[in-house]
Structure 1
Amino acid sequence: MARVDLARFLRARRESLRPADVGLPADRRRRTPGLRREEVAELAHMSVDYYARLEQARGPRPSPRILDALTGALRLGPSERTHLFTLAGAGPAPPADPAHRVRPHVASLLDRIPGTAAIVTDATYDVIAWNPLARALLGGGFGGQPNLARRRFLGLDDMYDSSSAEEFGHIVVARLRRAAARYPHDEALTRLLAELRAGSEEFVQIWEDNPVHAPGHRTKVVDHPAAGRLRLNCDVLTVPDDDQEVVFITADPGTSHARALRHLAAAG
């Protein structure tokens, strides 16, 4: 039954794609919808006979390497990739590299929450999206997509004082440890960890302690150069398919801290 379900999934996905979706020229002589089997086989770097047997539920159980090749050939998203591995009876291996692009619906969310500073970070703590209030609150430099781990441990951009700096250091290391296990061959992450180890004894010490932190609700007090002392709430929404986090920073309604955020938003 599993082979049949896998075959149906592959066939349906192939027939849903247009040549332009995979970079092939349009062909008006096509008599059937979607791509041809030989086109998928070529994109996946496998023989046409092998791919045809998969679609006919006659092939052997495909290896993770074959499944990843089909993921690319059929332009599957993270959820579809997981479904493909499940149908094939294989545990989905993590992607080779962290996702560095923000999905449009996540990016648009940042502009629909007035009075809230919001950023999106990837698995390596690169800030990959933000809204204007976040820029005003957390400091400039977001145009260069800063890395919060570097800012925390290497003193880059001179972030202002925060009561949560020590806790945040442990949170950063816990997440980077997870990323190192999930993406062991990612060159950018390897370089980042080497920089942090070379430039921060604190980072090395926390890393050796192997901290465990999960995203959630936290409060902190920051001394902002323009808005003064602010008591803020930080809430994290995870985007599991992309291994990303959306951080929402707010102040309690009706407080002077909330008014200060409104002034920052207006000034920004």
Structure 2
Amino acid sequence: MDRRELAAFLRGRRERITPAEVGLPAGPRRRTPGLRREEVAQLAFISAEYYTRLEQARAPRPSREVLAGLARALRLSDAERAHLHHLAGAPPGPAPGPPREVRQSILDLLHRLPQAAAIVVSAAYEVIAWNELAAALMEDFSAQPRRDRNLVRRAFLGPHPQGRRLYGVTDAEAFARNAAEGLRATAARYPDDPEVAALVRELTAGSEKFARLWASHEVSAETTLRKTFQHPLVGPVTVNCDVLDIADRDQRVVIYTAEPGSPSEEALRLLSVLGTQRMDVPG
């Protein structure tokens, strides 16, 4: 354990985070850049006294639970999390669950694709990032609670707004089967993640179809290369589906594009103008 380097690293990470980033008020008498020590301790669920001793290079080696709390409180990247563990003399083990933090370069990529609908999906099939055209084509994900942004849950348990299962895609059945198989592989990679385990229990209890697929132990999920969305405003939109794997985050970027010059390309162009506004609501 390198106490001095650990103390300096914690202090540097603490000072770069603004209170607003973690939902705390700045307050009129704040004299330190970033967070206060007691605020980090509160976010990490450890005592303020112990955290202070860590920053003063006087504390004993922190446990893995404490390190996990500090990584969460300080919003560390994967590389920073690994560095924190090495400084503490406790090399990191595998990530406890599917990573949900999306690299800034990937977020920038989504917004540089104005003619394509693009989303980022975690290993647990949660939509964790999207661009404006994806929101217009599928739904306004920002208006949905996190649980309803999980595509495998949506496939088997709903909700199905306007009677459209999975945004009216033509391959809903194939996607559901592939998602069940993919989720089994995810559960094997993250056996200790409570969220993945709870999702599997919920799906098994709530869907006989999922329960049958789960019992088959299949893991050979396939990728659909083309599908059609039945959109309530612009009608059918047929798109090509390209998937880019982000191996270090266990995430996927899914990009939907229409054939140049096709009616679907015109529909996407119209959706880019309409955005997520609801045309069925009287003005």
The answer to whether the superposition gives a TM-score over 0.5 is yes
Q: Which residue is 1:165 aligned to?
A: 172
Q: Which residue is 2:100 aligned to?
A: 100
Would you say 1:240 and 2:225 are equivalent positions?
Answer: no
Post-superposition shift, 1:197? 0.7
Amino acid at match of 1:99: P
- Report how many aligned residue pairs link the two structures: 232
Contact 2:7/2:57, CA 8 A, preserved across alignment: no
Q: Which residue is 2:207 aligned to?
A: 200
Matches of 2:170 and 2:101 in 1, distance apart?
31
Would you say 1:250 and 2:257 are equivalent positions?
Answer: yes
TM-score by length of 2: 0.66
Post-superposition shift, 1:230? 2.1
Once the two structures are superposed, the pairs formed by residues 132-151 of structure 1 within 5 Å of their partners are 132-144=132-144, 145=146, 146-151=149-154
Root-mean-square deviation over aligned CA pairs: 3.8
Would you say 1:21 and 2:21 are equivalent positions?
Answer: no
Q: Which residue is 2:62 aligned to?
A: 45
Contact 1:236/1:247, CA 8 A, preserved across alignment: yes
Matches of 1:91 and 1:204 in 2, distance apart?
38
Post-superposition shift, 1:24? 7.8
Amino acid at match of 1:253: P
41 and 241 in structure 1: CA distance in 2 versus 1, 3 angstrom threshold: farther
Post-superposition shift, 1:104? 1.8
213 and 85 in structure 1: CA distance in 2 versus 1, 3 angstrom threshold: farther
Amino acid at match of 2:180: V
* 3-state DSSP of counterpart to 2:59: helix
Contact 1:217/1:236, CA 8 A, preserved across alignment: no
Q: Which residue is 2:186 aligned to?
A: 179
Post-superposition shift, 1:41? 7.7
102 and 228 in structure 1: CA distance in 2 versus 1, 3 angstrom threshold: same
41 and 167 in structure 1: CA distance in 2 versus 1, 3 angstrom threshold: farther
- Runs of at least 5 residues in structure 1 that lack an aligned partner in the other structure: 1-6, 26-35, 47-64
* 3-state DSSP of counterpart to 1:94: coil
Give deviations 1:153-181, integer Å, cap 9, x for gaps.
01213434322112211221122112211
Post-superposition shift, 1:263? 0.6
Q: Which residue is 2:121 aligned to?
A: 121
168 and 216 in structure 1: CA distance in 2 versus 1, 3 angstrom threshold: closer
Matches of 1:16 and 1:252 in 2, distance apart?
53
Amino acid at match of 1:42: A
Identity rate, percent: 40
170 and 16 in structure 1: CA distance in 2 versus 1, 3 angstrom threshold: farther
Matches of 2:5 and 2:248 in 1, distance apart?
19
Amino acid at match of 1:180: A
TM-score by length of 1: 0.69
Amino acid at match of 1:255: S
